Amino acid sequence: MNKQEGKALSELDRPNSYIGKTVPRPNLDRLLQGRGLYVSDLELPRMTHVVFVRSPHAHAKIVGIDTQAARKMPGVVAVVTGEELSAVITPWVGVLSHLKGLKSAPQRAIAVDRVCWQGEAVVAIVATSRAAAEDAADLVIVDYEELPVVTDMRTALDAGTPVIHASLGDNLAFERVLDAGTVDAAFADADEVAEAEFVFGRHTGVTLEPRSVVADWNAAEARLTIYQGTQAPHMVQNIAALHLGLEEAQVRVICKDVGGSFGIKVHIYADEMATYALSKLLKRPVKFVADRMESFNTDIHARDHRCKGRIGVKRDGIITAFEIDDLTGIGPYSMYPRTSAIEANQVVNLVGGPYTTKNYRARARVVFQNKNVMCQYRAVGHPIACSVTEGLVDLAAAKIGMDPVEIRRRNLVPDDAYPCASASGLRFELLSHHQALNKLLEMMNYDALRAEQASLRKQNIHRGIGIASFIEVTNPSAAFYGVGGAKISSQDGVAVRLDAQGAVVCQTSITEQGQGSESLTAQIVGSVLGVSMEKVRVILGDTDQTPYGGGTWASRGAGIGGEAALQAAKILRKNILDVAAAILQSTPAELDIANNQIVNVGDGAPRIELRELARIVYFRPDTLPPGIQPELMATRHYVPREYPFAFTNGIQASWLEVDTDTGFVKLLKHWVVEDCGTIINPQLVDEQIRGGVVQGLGAALFEKCLYDERGQLTNANMADYLVPMSGEMPDIDIGHVVSPTSESELGAKGAGEAGTAGAAACVANAVNDALAPLGAVITEIPLTPELILTALKRI
Amino acid sequence: MTATHSISLEVNGERVEALIPPRINLADFLRDHLKLTGTHVGCEHGVCGACTIRVNGEIVRSCLMLAVQANEASVETIEGLSDSGEISDLQAAFRERNALQCGFCTPGMLISAQDLLKAESEPDRERIREHLSGNYCRCTGYQAIVDAVEATARARRGGS
């Protein structure tokens, strides 16, 4: 790194510089050949399988459980009720102290006395095969006495509505209010005020591999090994130990390949806790793999908000104020340990975020109901905030007859205004809304597209353009969870060592679910060390083998784990050069590492290969000068301290066609411009964005968990719950603006959630743009044919 | 129901004899009995396509077929197609294009894509999207997959 500190990236532009370059992810062949190891593939000696008998009712008293017949079935090892399991695992309450007033009731691994949603586990059957367990499950008889259900969030707080948890007094889990600036005066000052209620369908992640866990309590070692597809191994270690009465040192969490996660697998689920506890109880490995119906009924759901919004605007397009009143229903418990108040809290934080107005009032209420639990899923709160904000901006533009681009241009925070803060108090280090907007318009050829739209309208073809600016929370510090008392690390660590043949082994606490954590780590370490990437092996997902850290969630892997890798590699590089100088009777300043060998700084001439250096250090240290003790391993940790979050920004646009006879929407094209700071691997960033966009498009058009008035989920299968398929998805063009964060040397911010943040908003705006000549405005997603035809008064 | 049936079939070129309960589906038989875990199970109701394999040359959802129905059949899974080298170019294109993230859909996706590439030499993007529309991918958004299949088709035609 020569002597220059600070922005080191240009200095890394050397033969082994991988930062900023598209290189294939290491070890993809394993997955391409079907030779990965997902938890669902895992088998251990004496392993048993658990199947849960689940409540068919949304709310009921458990009157009696008859397990006699089930216990007699062949292959059955144990039949365990919630009360029996209580002997080995304690209940939990999903609250965080910094979310003031958040309350929830104790939740158990298996229900005791009462079930609160359809799908809650009531009895565990452990057997030698899954089929045997399922056979026995059919014979368990549970007597229920149905209780009144609370399903509609709109009436959950009414005096006449039953209270789900009597001890809490009401069904209000959390409420937050915010009043910034002079909102009433700003609305009075506005020339026009637009308002609408925005409705968001409850949907879920549909990871292609269902949640899976193998828990292995070795009674002789007094140690529990948990094999789980989780985004946060150390968090699972902490929670499992806490509730099983163990020390963390007695719990090892191993995470191999994970078949999709998206926030679904970052939480602690009751059935997974039950699986840990069953292993401890039975002293043998227990495997739980959710089937698809269980996934729909128990994987966290997300969104399900109803948000009233209001915007004031002057004739010249200046937005005077935003106001929202958000309501969301989270199921019967606040999820553990991240809580189910974060999404609503984020909505309050993020509405109006890209814009200059300082007048903003918000209320968010989070209520309990007898449906499956809701919690953080990719882009937590962002799609809600973005859809409300951008929907209101378009409504305001329509009121004053201004082009949607022009109103944004007049209100987006100027690119030279940083650092600054939003009305809700979010601190922005450096964003690029206007550069991003300009780039987007250029990519999509906005004026030509408008002309095409106008000409097609004459042929009765209804196409629409929708635009959505957004900000995204990335690189979260302890402000997210740690300050609220959750043992969820916000720092990450990386250990790097030169092995005895001059290759590099790197252990990182971030995790891989396909984003490219392994690749970005190898790219950074290879670049800093001057070692080719194929010589860098990355180990992740094992609490026994990696430094302590948070894992991969909230768009933090590259920004936080990447910086830790950079810093650790710098130390190792220095240590290697110190040894090299001693061997070569030179000085570290005269030496460099390139292409796996020590070279002269001056002429680049090779001096000694790393392989040879390692041989000397490990096997012939006797030949080194006296007093030299090489340290060919270095560890560094990193957490952002200056800013609680590294905000990113971006903008998306959708071009689509609405068939006004059938109500079908055909997505024609989608554009994204994203600013995530330093880009480590352009291809991986783009693919994260594309994947995120498509999950947002699913929410916009298809995905919804349909509950009836009795709290029954009526489409808990893949045939009835629709997700985006290849035939319906458009090509997505992606552009970048690069504003690195100065907080880290790497300068990387997150990108994993940007696509999801704005996709639904621009689709909804595009549909309304298409329908504008027909006088219809829709502020609800998913935009189903039924919804569109209803808005057009066709049905 | 519980009486086992004897089946004899060829799996990836190897003769396999087994005694199995009639209710075992082919996906579970491959995974649990033969330990061919490259065939993934995503939905167990024939929608997601993760368990796509080839039986007598045709692609099938192995979760919708009983193992006893594969008696005397020739079954090919991702392990076999990888080892034979039949799809090595397609796999390389997926790797170059990052057409997989978590990798769970990938074996089924590759087998479905190969089915199209064997039948048609010049599928356009829309045709590729249509052919793969029975295979869920929750990670990529499909574009990279379409790119990789398109590139493989082009290369097999002798283009660059």
SS (H, E, C) A237-268: HHHHHHHHCCCHHHEEEECCECCCCCCHHHCE
Question: Are residues A34 and B82, on separate chains, in Cβ contact within 8 Å?
Answer: yes
In tens, the pLDDT along A278-306 reads 999 999 999 999 999 999 999 999 999 99
In tens, the pLDDT along A534-552 reads 999 999 999 999 999 999 9
CATH architecture entry for A301-478+642-791 = 2-Layer Sandwich (3.30)
Question: Are residues B103 and A207, on separate chains, in Cβ contact within 8 Å?
Answer: no
Question: Are residues A261 and B128, on separate chains, in Cβ contact within 8 Å?
Answer: no
Question: Are residues B91 and A32, on separate chains, in Cβ contact within 8 Å?
Answer: yes
Chain A contact set for B38 (CB, 8 A): 33-36
Confidence of residue A13 (pLDDT cuts 50, 70, 90): low
For residue A41, give how far its alpha carbon lies from the nearest alpha carbon of chain B (Å). 6
Q: Are A329 and A173 in contact (CB under 8 A)?
A: no
A13-22, A33-42, A268-277, A571-580: least confident range: A13-22
The distance from CA A461 to its chain's CA centroid, rounded to whole angstroms, is: 38
Search chain A and give the residue with CA nearest B110: A32
Domains of chain B: 5-81 (3.10.20.30), 87-156 (1.10.150.120)
Q: Are A336 and A185 in contact (CB under 8 A)?
A: no
| Mean pLDDT computed over A452-478 | 96
Chain A contact set for B36 (CB, 8 A): 34
Question: Are residues A32 and B146, on separate chains, in Cβ contact within 8 Å?
Answer: no
* Strands laid side by side in the A223-228 sheet: A76-81, A121-127, A48-54, A286-289, A212-218, A223-228, A251-254
Residue A9 has pLDDT above 80, yes or no: no
Confidence of residue A15 (pLDDT cuts 50, 70, 90): confident
pLDDT of residue A16: 79
Question: Are residues A40 and B41, on separate chains, in Cβ contact within 8 Å?
Answer: yes
Question: Are residues A723 and B50, on separate chains, in Cβ contact within 8 Å?
Answer: no
Chain A contact set for B136 (CB, 8 A): 206, 208, 718, 723, 725
| Mean pLDDT computed over A734-759 | 96
Search chain B and give the residue with CA nearest A291: B43
pLDDT of residue B159: 66
Number of CB pairs < 8 Å for A and B? Answer: 173
Longest CA–CA span in chain A (Å) reads 89
C-alpha span between A525 and A544 (Å, rounded): 21
Confidence of residue A663 (pLDDT cuts 50, 70, 90): very high
Residue A8 has pLDDT above 70, yes or no: no
In the structure encoding, which two tokens stand for residue A412, read together? 């987006």
> Cα dist. A752→A186, A232, A720, A761 in Å?
36, 16, 28, 17
**SS3 call for A793:** coil
Give kind and range of the element (H or E) at residue B72. Answer: none
Question: Are residues B95 and A257, on separate chains, in Cβ contact within 8 Å?
Answer: no
* Beta pairing class for A286-289 and A48-54: parallel
In tens, the pLDDT along B93-129 reads 999 999 999 999 999 999 999 999 999 999 999 999 9
In tens, the pLDDT along A614-641 reads 999 999 999 999 999 999 999 999 999 9
Parse chain A into domains and list their residue ranges: 10-36+491-638, 39-147+210-258+264-298, 301-478+642-791
Question: Are residues B45 and A718, on separate chains, in Cβ contact within 8 Å?
Answer: yes
Search chain B and give the residue with CA nearest A211: B42
Angle CA A311–A316–A321, to nearest 5:
25
| Mean pLDDT computed over B9-38 | 97
Chain A contact set for B143 (CB, 8 A): 690, 729, 731-732
**A13 compared with A716, residue with greater pLDDT:** A716
Residues whose CB falls within 8 Å of the CB of residue A339, separated by 6 or more in sequence, listed in order: A94, A95, A96, A99, A102, A104, A375, A484
Confidence of residue A6 (pLDDT cuts 50, 70, 90): very low
Question: Are residues B142 and A726, on separate chains, in Cβ contact within 8 Å?
Answer: yes
In tens, the pLDDT along A128-176 reads 999 999 999 999 999 999 999 999 999 999 999 999 999 999 999 999 9
Burial of A611 (0-12, 13-18, 19+ CB in 10 A): middle
Search chain A and give the residue with CA nearest B39: A34
Question: Are residues B142 and A513, on separate chains, in Cβ contact within 8 Å?
Answer: no
C-alpha span between A765 and A779 (Å, rounded): 9
> Cα dist. A323→A356, A412, B58 in Å?
14, 17, 58
Q: Are A183 and A765 in contact (CB under 8 A)?
A: no
| Mean pLDDT computed over A110-117 | 98
Burial of A719 (0-12, 13-18, 19+ CB in 10 A): exposed
CATH architecture entry for A39-147+210-258+264-298 = Alpha-Beta Complex (3.90)
In the structure encoding, which two tokens stand for residue A350, read together? 């993020």
In the structure encoding, which two tokens stand for residue A255, read together? 């995470």
- The answer to whether domain A39-147+210-258+264-298 and domain A301-478+642-791 are alike in fold is no
C-alpha span between A677 and A680 (Å, rounded): 9
Q: Which of B77, B136, B144 sits opposite A687 (nearest CB)?
A: B144
Q: Are A129 and A48 in contact (CB under 8 A)?
A: no
Instruction: Give this complex's ipTM.
Output: 0.98
Q: Which one-letter DSSP state was computed for residue A560?
A: I
Q: Which amino acid is at B152?
A: T
Beta-carbon neighbour count of residue A539 at 10 Å?
A: 14
In tens, the pLDDT along A354-369 reads 999 999 999 999 999 9
Q: What is the domain class of A10-36+491-638 according to CATH? A: alpha beta
Positive or negative, the CA dihedral A417, A420, A425, A426 is positive
Chain B contact set for A763 (CB, 8 A): none
Confidence of residue A5 (pLDDT cuts 50, 70, 90): very low
Scored b (16 or more CB within 10 A) or e, A86-119 reads eebbebbebbbeebeebbbbebbbbbbebbbbbb
C-alpha span between A121 and A319 (Å, rounded): 50
Q: Are B9 and B16 in contact (CB under 8 A)?
A: yes
Confidence of residue A12 (pLDDT cuts 50, 70, 90): low
In the structure encoding, which two tokens stand for residue A606, read together? 């090779």
Search chain A and give the residue with CA nearest B135: A725
Search chain A and give the residue with CA nearest B80: A33
Confidence of residue A479 (pLDDT cuts 50, 70, 90): confident
**SS3 call for A96:** coil
| Mean pLDDT computed over A264-285 | 98
As a dihedral over the C-alpha atoms of residue A601, residue A607, residue A612, residue A613, rounded to 10 degrees, the angle is -40
Chain B contact set for A33 (CB, 8 A): 38, 78-79, 82, 91
Q: Which amino acid is at A325?
A: D
C-alpha span between A420 and A281 (Å, rounded): 55
End-to-end, the C-alpha distance of chain B in Å comes to 55
What percent of chain A has pLDDT above 90? 97
Residue B56 has pLDDT above 80, yes or no: yes
C-alpha span between A350 and A324 (Å, rounded): 11
